[in-house]
A = this chain, B = another copy of it.
């Protein structure tokens, strides 16, 4: 299963083409809608007020409610766009954004309106694709969940099991510990009031993957496969598996996960520092990773930058509607990327 996201924020439509979908999957469209609602903007005070129906229309690949096995294309029409917000500053490269490298890469021909193909809005079709992937995985006993693990230094508790993670997913602000969630929201609110934004991180786990998937080799190892999907999510700047960066502070005697036979005759580990992967291959424990997301680059404060049309220094004062923190809405996006990665790892 491979996906291709297409579309620009203010073009006619955005969407996704999914190839390699197994035939005969009865898609639960309501469930897909719920997943997309988790990402949708305009719902609360920590996200952009832009309203989007985000109702995907499936053009192909589904017949009588089931996947046909041929390419599935779904499109989402663009509605509430206010391109005027962008025209005034279109030549000013927004710091932290891809404006300048995209200007070089695409010879100045990319659609600048609303971030064009770089817009966070493009994560909507990704969530669609991930929702399809999740339904396929669920049939094989594999489940994917995530929660906000930190925002601007406020940390959620570490994930314990599927049930608590599942419960967090249903919250409007997906954390395990709601008290920490309140502190995170306060940090976001304060940043917005100060015309600023904040970064954070998301912890994600894939439960139910069998041992023996992946390989140590380039292009086949489990961490490499997951990381490619995760870094394709805008704003992700770091990916860490298991104990992650804390491995640099550890000794082997701490980091090694001792093995034992469980009552059912399966090999299990007493702890999961490896995050479910050894030598690029799944070991049957939950596959756990954390991604770090940069603060939203779009902030209302004046910023030094360059005018790409005149090639001279300039000061940017940004208008438009922006999330002061992308992390909360990114939780289902990271789950989507993980679900698609898990499908590749399972040979789906």
Chain A residues close to B by CB (< 8 Å): 3-8, 11-15, 17, 19, 23-24, 57-61, 63, 66-73, 75, 93, 95-102, 104-111, 116-118, 122, 150-153, 191, 196-201, 210-219, 221, 223-225, 227-229, 231-232, 234, 236-245, 247-261, 265, 267, 269-270, 273-275, 277-284, 292-299, 301, 303-306, 308, 311-313, 347
Choose from B23, B196, B221, B252 the contact partner of A110 (Cβ within 8 Å).
Answer: B23
| Bound complex: CA A61 to CA B272 (Å) | 30
Are A196 and B253 neighbours in the complex by a CB distance under 8 Å? yes
Q: How many copies does the complex hold?
A: 4
Q: What are 13 A-to-B residue pairs whose CB atoms are below 8 Å?
A: A4-B17, A7-B71, A11-B59, A15-B59, A24-B109, A98-B278, A152-B251, A219-B232, A237-B241, A237-B244, A243-B294, A253-B299, A253-B301
Closest B residue to A20 using CB positions:
B220
Q: Is the CB of B6 within 8 A of A4?
A: no
Which residues of chain B come closer than 8 Å to A250, judged between CB atoms?
Answer: 152, 198-199, 294-295
B63 touches A261 (CB 8 A): no
Are A239 and B238 closer than 8 Å at their CB atoms? yes
Of chain B, the residue at the smallest CB distance from A200 is: B248
Chain B residues whose CB sits within 8 angstroms of the CB of A106 once the complex forms: 23-24, 68-70
Cross-interface CB contact of A96 among B71, B107, B256, cutoff 8 Å? B256
B residues near A244, Cβ cutoff 8 Å = 237-238, 292
Q: A5-B71, A11-B60 are in contact. List 11 more A-B contacts (CB 8 A).
A: A4-B19, A6-B61, A19-B217, A23-B107, A68-B109, A69-B110, A70-B215, A98-B279, A104-B211, A256-B297, A267-B308
A145 to chain B, nearest CB (A): 20
A236–chain B nearest beta-carbon distance, Å: 7
- Report the bound CA distance from A277 to B258 in whole Å: 39
Contact B95 A279 (CB under 8 A): no
Are A59 and B6 neighbours in the complex by a CB distance under 8 Å?
yes
Most buried by B among A19, A253, A256, A312: A256
> How long is the Cα–Cα vector from A96 to B251 in the complex, in angstroms?
12
The answer to whether B97 touches A279 (Cβ under 8 A) is yes
CB distance from A81 to the nearest CB of B (A): 13
For A347, give the chain B residue with the smallest CB separation: B347
Taken together as a complex, chains A and B put the C-alpha atoms of A238 and B231 apart, in Å, by 12
CA distance A183 to B251 in the complex (A): 16
Do A70 and B198 have beta carbons less than 8 Å apart?
no
CB contacts (< 8 Å) of A61 on chain B: these are 6, 8
CA A259 – CA B311 in complex, angstroms? 11
Alpha-carbon separation in the docked complex, A96 to B201 (Å): 26
User: In the assembled complex, which residues on chain B have CB atoms less than 8 Å from the CB atom of A223?
Assistant: 231, 236-237
The CB with the most chain B CB atoms within 10 A, among A150, A216, A223, A304, is that of: A216
